[in-house]
Structure 1
């Protein structure tokens, strides 16, 4: 555990009264829901004690990524799934990381909390030089302080960090220079080189401390556009059809949607804040991307479903709607999707 944990300041909440999601004391959702309380958490933990869950790790596919091909790539858009929400995006000659988590636990300390059961597909030091990092929100399975510290110190200089409002203070504590931190509100955009990054709304919440910081930092998803292709990840989110219809209208054509399918049981506790595979399919049907990839599963045991279960539930949902598995596919950890600019994409094993 980094000693900086003890010195982290609370996020600085900056309210803009003209923005509907800026509340009196913190950010709020466009479609409000009752956020989890301590009593809900205690009930969930009590119920979990009776569960006997088998995690079939052998059912979670892995492939060895072609690190050399990724390092040499300068023009072809690609996405490589690192595990959970972490992914390497290559657009317009730039290397982008999404929600990078390389630590062994999604926790404020490395001796307790959800343990990684599937290692990252690529060692952090084996990545190509990272130009920009997008962090969707400050929960520990998406914002990993130790990983960010290492990225700040990467050879060749710190990447640019593009984050929601209020998350920048954590980046500063990790050592990121002030001129390498960009904070965005929903629908704000930042252009870095030939890549444009847009923060999109999500139905979620933020909290990193036991007290005092709930919803003082914003949350969201990210669209990254460049080199003739656009990828979008909704972040942690509950399902609301109006929200995703609005996002679809704003973004226009999406080449690849990275849709979360894990961390969804029990529904009484998680439905408002995490979609399940059936709702991921509903988002796919609203957005109509050229391709969708299933992410945010198979790495940390965060909730009650078996670690291998999400793709099985996804297959059932796709079958009910007559959607081909090739259109909404489940990549292997380490698999690279190589894209032709403006034209869908084809799955690969990491080779160009």
Structure 2
């Protein structure tokens, strides 16, 4: 090996190149806040952080599993009410687009939560989890967006390509609201710093009559290869306006104390958007993703009036078939004696009017 070659120098240059290509968040902890740790943000309750050994064990097991059949024809879809949504200026509405993405209309404002329109949930569009069916509408078919809410920096929630398209939107200048540390990715995607608003847990952002409050989640963050684990915060959003409150917890594991706390802090939720997908195997995913039965328990813990099932049916991220979450949800509702009309499984593209 040439004497001039030094492994440390090569790794240092690689990290410098990556940080120029993909900037890292700057972590500024507040020592008075319990979720601000010395090396990064942390959860309010004990949490098992995924480790490389766990990922390798999971991958080893997956390679030995029988082939999984994803019956995409069982995943409900609906032709979206685009004319009504584009012409609406007064009536509150909520549309589930696909996976984590929802479109909300409140106080005459158009709001997107975790907008993901790319073909892959990945840093690359030639590799990584691929969308199994297209979104029910194109991004440009929606009315001009006023507010974008990002829950955390994982690729199936913060889609760089979609953010870049929204930042270039000619018809409006949307504001972007995200947890602490996520702004660096938004700026890299072309969002002007003046339109980015970073929040800590329990902080609020207001746009005319709309209020968005960042609520805690039982999760973690990581986007790059080096140096950013838990350096950006994660969470969910309570969205208020027109006398209504919607709540989406973001990616989260189940922690009963956490969801009782959230229910006490934010008050009555008219409709909760609760994740039911990406949950197998439980030995690996239970700290970070709820399963359908735990989603039902979140409904009960928070006291929400009703819920819609989201975060399923689009990307093969975990071991369960894409169509299975709806069956597990039905079983959980029967177990808890809850009507499917209270915790509904909407179709992709379906709108609820208020």
Evaluate the alpha carbon distance shift between residue 6 and residue 265 of structure 1 in structure 2; reply closer, same or farther with a 3 A threshold.
Answer: farther
Q: Which residue of 1 aligns with 2:24?
A: 10
Alignment partners' CA distance in 1, 2:127 and 2:21: 20
Once the two structures are overlaid, the 10-residue window that deviates more, 189-198 or 6-15, is: 6-15
Alignment partners' CA distance in 2, 1:49 and 1:338: 44
- Equivalent position SS for 1:275: coil
Structure 1: gaps (5+ residues): 340-352
Q: Which residue of 2 aligns with 1:184?
A: 199
Q: Is the 8 A contact 1:205 1:218 kept in 2?
A: yes
Evaluate the alpha carbon distance shift between residue 171 and residue 32 of structure 1 in structure 2; reply closer, same or farther with a 3 A threshold.
Answer: same
Evaluate the alpha carbon distance shift between residue 290 and residue 158 of structure 1 in structure 2; reply closer, same or farther with a 3 A threshold.
Answer: same
Q: Is the 8 A contact 2:145 2:172 kept in 1?
A: no
Q: Which residue of 2 aligns with 1:142?
A: 157
Query: Of 28, 36, 55, which aligns to 2:50?
Result: 36
Q: Is the 8 A contact 1:260 1:280 kept in 2?
A: yes
Q: Which residue of 2 aligns with 1:202?
A: 217
Q: Which residue of 1 aligns with 2:271?
A: 256
Alignment partners' CA distance in 2, 1:298 and 1:21: 32
Alignment partners' CA distance in 1, 2:333 and 2:126: 39
How many matched pairs?
337
- Equivalent position SS for 1:148: helix
| CA apart distance, 1:122 | 1.3
| CA apart distance, 1:155 | 1.7
Q: Which residue of 2 aligns with 1:311?
A: 326
**Aligned residue runs from structure 1 range 47-196, under 5 A:** 47-51=61-65, 52-196=67-211
Q: Which residue of 1 aligns with 2:243?
A: 228
Alignment partners' CA distance in 2, 1:265 and 1:5: 33
| CA apart distance, 1:213 | 0.4
Verify: 1:219 aligned to 2:251, yes or no: no
Q: Given the two structures, how large is their TM-score scaled by the length of structure 1?
A: 0.94
Q: Given the two structures, how large is their TM-score scaled by the length of structure 2?
A: 0.94
Query: Of 318, 324, 327, which aligns to 2:339?
Result: 324
| CA apart distance, 1:7 | 1.5
Q: Which residue of 1 aligns with 2:33?
A: 19
Measured against aligned partners, the alpha-carbon deviations of 1:273-307 in whole angstroms (never above 9, x if no partner) come to: 00000000000111222210000000000000000
- Equivalent position SS for 2:294: helix
Structure 2: gaps (5+ residues): 1-16
Q: Is the 8 A contact 1:121 1:334 kept in 2?
A: yes
- Equivalent position SS for 1:285: helix
